[in-house]
Homo-oligomer: A and B are copies of this chain.
Amino acid sequence: MTISNDVIGLVAGILTSTAMIPQVVKTIKEKDAENISPFMVIILILGTATWTYYGVLKNDMPIIITNIFSCFVNCVMLFCKVKFSKN
């Protein structure tokens, strides 16, 4: 039962952590991040960092692994937002 829980958690985490990847690809391709809210990206970085801490407290591997990855992807997105925004 624990193994299947972990599998569900990993599937959930892979989905939410890979969600930003098509957005990053679209932004890099179009070199345009005008419609992207910088607040969304910053809040996601803080949120995934806090989830990672929660995962450490609860010793919950799916949460830890997928949120570290998610935090990294959001940092890349923030870099794209700064680089491609026309201001």
A-side residues, CB < 8 A to B, are: 5, 8-9, 11-23, 25-27, 30, 32-37, 39-41, 43-44, 46-48, 50-51, 53-54, 57-58, 60, 62
Contacts and interface: CB of A to CB of B under 8 A. Distances in A.
A53 B62 CA distance: 14
B36 A35 contact: yes
Contacts of A21: 40
A47 B16 contact: yes
B12 A47 contact: yes
Contacts of A39: 19, 22-23
A50 B19 contact: no
Contacts of A35: 26-27, 30, 32-36
